[in-house]
Amino acid sequence: MTRKYTLILLILICGAVVFSSCKRKVEPTTVQVIDPNRHYYPILQGQEMDMKYEIVNVGNNPLFITEIQPSCGCMVVDDDYPITVLPHKNGFIHIKYNSTKNVGLVDHYIRCYGNFAKTGMLELRFDVHVVPDADYTRDYEELYRDYEAKNGKVKEAVDGKESNQYYVGQP
């Protein structure tokens, strides 16, 4: 019977050690963001922007960013979660923005969740003017030049294929 009690006692001690090590509490920390509100110069519609936000952990506890939520599907976060920044060190959040579906003044924000002091959330913002491409009909010379560059058949581009030529009336 003593062997049975020894085994039970050993299991209880191992369980206590395992469960007590899991109770580490993550304390909040303070951060400083370099340029959290940005105003970018105008870009053409369809152009992509790569943005990098620098975060400085000025607190005494490690920073754990557990989730990043962009305000639009046109932004993609390049980082995997969680992002960890040690005390008094710098970290970066990488965002790719695709302007294909936007026109005019665009104002977006990115919400970062983690052990930030006070609110547990950090908000980054940027705005940019997205300028559409020129809206015009290409003239004959542009079409001719594009066709010539693509196919190299100048006569066919101008006159059409011989099998498709016909006259109406007397020749």
CATH of the domain at 84: 2.60.40.10
How far apart CA 63 and CA 55 sit, in angstroms, is 10
DSSP-assigned letter for residue 164? G
Contact yes or no for 65/92 (Cβ under 8 A): no
Give me the percent of the chain exceeding a pLDDT of 70.
69
Judge whether 153 lies within some domain: no
Domain that holds residue 103: 31-131
Residue 59 inside a domain? The answer is yes
Instruction: Give the number of domains in the chain.
Output: 1
Q: pTM for the whole thing?
A: 0.63
Residue tagged 């304390």 (tokens):
27
Question: Would residue 69 count as lying in a domain?
Answer: yes
Q: What are residue 86's phi and psi, to 5 degrees?
A: -70, 160
pLDDT tens sequence across 102-151: 888 999 999 999 999 888 899 999 988 998 877 665 666 766 777 777 76
Residue 143 in any domain: the answer is no
pLDDT value of residue 110? 94
Residue 138 within any structural domain of the chain: no
Cβ contact 59:87 at 8 Å:
yes
User: Would you state the pLDDT for residue 19?
Assistant: 59
122 has which bridge partners? 112
